[in-house]
Amino acid sequence: MRYFVTGTAGFIGFHLARRLLQDGHEVAGFDGMTAYYNLRLKEARHAALAQFPAFRPTLAMLEDRAALEKAMIDFQPDVIVHLAAQAGVRYSLENPKAYLDSNLIGSWNILELAKTLKVGHLMLASTSSVYGANPEVPFRETDRADEPLTFYAATKKATELMAHSYSHLYRVPTTAFRFFTVYGPWGRPDMALFKFVKAMIEDREIEVYGEGKMSRDFTFIDDLVDSIIDLSRIVPSEENRVEGSVRDTLSHQAPFRVVNIGGGQPVGLLDFIEVIESVMGKPAKRKMLPMQQGDVPRTYASPDLLVALTGKKPETGVDTGVRRFVEWYLEHREELGL
C-alpha cells in the first residue's frame, strides 16, 4: 500500500516509516526538520529511511500548503498517517505559537487534502495529555477530555474535533490514536529517559519532578508501531463497531474513532529510575524538584478498545525497553553528538 507519513524525521514517524518500508509498502515522508532538538539525529533518521528505494521524502513545513499538496497529490496515498506536530508539554509554555501553526493550521491542511483526495483512511496522532488530571483511572476513550492543562494538549484535542467534523461532512474514514509516554531507541532528547541516561553518563544530577511521585503508562516504540499498523487495517465503519462490554468510540455521525494506544500498566517514576540504574550499573544522583506547571500526576490507559479491535496491546516491560534504549544510545552517542 501507499502510506503518506508526516513527521518521518521524528521519533515515531521514523520507526513507523521504517517498518512499513521493511514490510514492502511505499512511503512518502513529509517533515519540516525543525530545530526543536538535535538536527543530526533527525537527519540520521531520514538517512536510514533513504536506504529504501520506496521512500520518497519531502522537506517542508505543514503550514506550507503548496508543498504539502504537491507531495500528496503526486503520491496519491491509500493511507495518511499524520504524526508531525510541535511536541513537548513544557515547550508549549514557552512558544505556544509553534503549536498553533503546526498542530492546528498544519493539521487543517492535512484534513483539507484528505478530503480532496478522498483518502481511504486518515490516521491522526493525539496524546494522553488530552485527559488532563483525570481522577478516574484507567483513562478510557469515553471519559471527558475537556480540561487540558497545557496548550499542547488543547491543540491535540482540537485536532480530534476538527477531524470529526471533516469525517462527518466529507465521509473521510478517520482514526485518532492517543499515545501514552512513548520511548525507545532513536527517541527524543527532551524525554525523561533520554535526559536521565545522558546525565548519568556525564555524572550529572537527574532532575526528578513531582518529588518522584508521578507515574506514567510507558509504551515501547515497537509496540506502538505494531498498534498503528494494525489499526490502519481497521477502517472505521459500522461493520467493525465493537459490541458488548467494551464501549466503542465509533461515532454515530461519522466514520471516526478514537483509540488509546497504551498497555494499561503505569510505572512509578522512582521505579522507572531504578530500572535505569540497574541497566546502567550505577546509581543516579537525584535532584528532587516540585511538579512542573502543566505536568499531570499520572497517566493510565485503558487498552480495552485497542484489544477489542486488534486482539493485542503493548506488552514490552520497561526493563526490556530501557535496556534497548541504553544499548542504542551508547552505540550512537558520539556519532550523533548526543
User: Mind listing the pLDDT tens digit for each residue in 43-96?
Assistant: 999 999 999 999 999 999 999 999 999 999 999 999 999 999 887 777 777 888
Which residues make up the CATH 3.90.25.10 domain(s) of the chain?
183-215+265-301+316-336
What is the fold, at CATH topology level, of the domain defined by 183-215+265-301+316-336? UDP-galactose 4-epimerase; domain 1 (3.90.25)
Q: Can you tell me which residue has the cell 502510506?
A: 3
Interval 110-136: pLDDT, tens = 999 999 999 999 999 999 999 998 999
Interval 208-243: pLDDT, tens = 999 999 999 999 999 999 999 999 999 999 999 999
pLDDT in the model for residue 140: 97
Q: How far is CA 336 from CA 54, 74, 93, in A?
A: 25, 33, 28
What is the fold, at CATH topology level, of the domain defined by 2-180+221-261? Rossmann fold (3.40.50)
pTM of the model: 0.96
Q: Which of 91, 99, 131, 152 is catalytic?
A: 152
8 A C-beta contact, residue 55 and residue 49: yes
In angstroms, rounded to a whole number, what is the distance separating the alpha carbons of residues 40 and 338? 9
Examine the residue annotation and report whether 152 is marked as an active-site residue of this protein.
yes
Closest CA to 129 of 97, 175, 81, 91: 91
Q: Which residues pair with 178 in a beta bridge?
A: 126, 260
Which residues make up the CATH 3.40.50.720 domain(s) of the chain?
2-180+221-261
